[in-house]
């Protein structure tokens, strides 16, 4: 006897999915590509390869990748502590992880700038050593780590919660030390989740605006991010330049995310088969 699913069949479900995907995602992207195509690909290339645009793209993508890499490590450690240990204030810490999700980006940017500015609590401690944090690429990096950390924590946390600790105990019984158990038993199960969370953190970082502009300094060729440059182009009524930068960001982001998704799929096959 065939058991009917409470969810609609394939045809209506696929139709609704494709309709929403087309209206909410594909249609705006197609409009962007068509607007850029009207400039001619040589025109787009000339606009994108301007020195100021290239510097902004390097800042956005380079710092987003660096922040995602840092979040991959510390987000995994945070998830490990929240899942595997009981301590006073654990639930408070668990709730605090979601603060970057709840805070308006402008509020986060103002708070970070107040902390790391030369007269801020942390910036004042670094000032005597002639180290500037706010209004430099370092400040952008800190803001991107702040907004990206929850993605890794919340992606890795349920995987750790469902992991069977008896496998780790069996490895220890067979003589494996802690380092070997982590490398051969724990990490392989977490790699796909870490890659997925890092990809989301990277995507958030590339498009982040509100929490970055207050701490970036927004100095061309130094600490100017690509989203801010798009806004600058729009304020100057340079719609062609804004469209070209947006298309460049879309293309590079898609290629990097495609590579990360492929790496995640490979890791699931590789480490899933290993287990």
d(CA 213, CA 15): 40
150 band by pLDDT with thresholds 50, 70 and 90: very high
164 band by pLDDT with thresholds 50, 70 and 90: low
**What pLDDT was estimated at residue 178?**
67
DSSP 218-234: --TTTT--HHHHHHHHH
175 band by pLDDT with thresholds 50, 70 and 90: low
**What pLDDT was estimated at residue 261?**
82
**What pLDDT was estimated at residue 36?**
80
Residue % of the chain over a pLDDT of 90: 32
Which residues fall within 8 angstroms of residue 193, CB to CB, at 6 or more apart? 155, 156, 159
Q: Which domains does the chain have, with CATH numbers?
A: 58-223 (1.10.3720.10)
30 band by pLDDT with thresholds 50, 70 and 90: confident
Question: Which CA distances in Å does 96 have to 111, 156, 205?
Answer: 15, 16, 19
Stated pTM of the model: 0.85
Closest of 176, 228, 188, 191 to residue 57, by C-alpha: 228
R_g of the chain computed on alpha carbons: 22
Q: For 177-200, b where at least 16 C-beta lie within 10 A, e where not — what string?
A: eeeebeeebbeebbbbbbbbbbbb
160 band by pLDDT with thresholds 50, 70 and 90: confident
H/E segment holding residue 56: helix 51-84
């Amino acid at each position: 006897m065939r058991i009917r699913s409470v969810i609609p069949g394939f045809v209506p479900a696929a139709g609704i999915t494709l309709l929403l995907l087309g209206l909410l995602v594909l249609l705006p992207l197609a409009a962007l590509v068509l607007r850029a195509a009207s400039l001619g690909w040589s025109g787009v290339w000339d606009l994108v390869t301007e020195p100021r645009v290239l510097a902004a793209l390097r800042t956005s993508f380079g710092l987003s990748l660096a922040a995602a890499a840092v979040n991959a490590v510390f987000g995994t450690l945070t998830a490990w502590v929240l899942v595997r240990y009981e301590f006073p204030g654990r639930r408070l810490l668990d709730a605090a992880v979601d603060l970057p999700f709840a805070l308006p980006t402008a509020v986060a940017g103002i708070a970070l700038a107040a902390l790391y500015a030369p007269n801020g609590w942390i910036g004042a401690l670094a000032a005597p050593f002639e180290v500037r944090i706010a209004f430099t690429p370092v400040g952008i990096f800190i803001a991107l780590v702040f907004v990206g950390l929850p993605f890794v924590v919340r992606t890795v946390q349920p995987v750790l919660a469902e992991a069977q600790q008896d496998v780790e105990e069996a490895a220890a019984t067979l003589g494996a030390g802690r380092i070997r158990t982590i490398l051969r038993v724990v990490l392989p199960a977490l790699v796909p989740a870490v890659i997925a969370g890092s990809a989301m953190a990277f995507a958030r970082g590339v498009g982040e605006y509100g929490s970055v502009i207050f701490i970036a300094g927004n100095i061309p060729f130094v600490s100017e991010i690509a989203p801010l440059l798009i806004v600058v182009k729009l304020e100057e009524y340079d719609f062609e330049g804004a469209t070209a930068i947006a298309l460049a960001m879309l293309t590079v982001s898609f290629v990097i995310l495609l590579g990360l998704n492929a790496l995640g799929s490979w890791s699931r096959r590789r480490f899933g088969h290993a287990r």
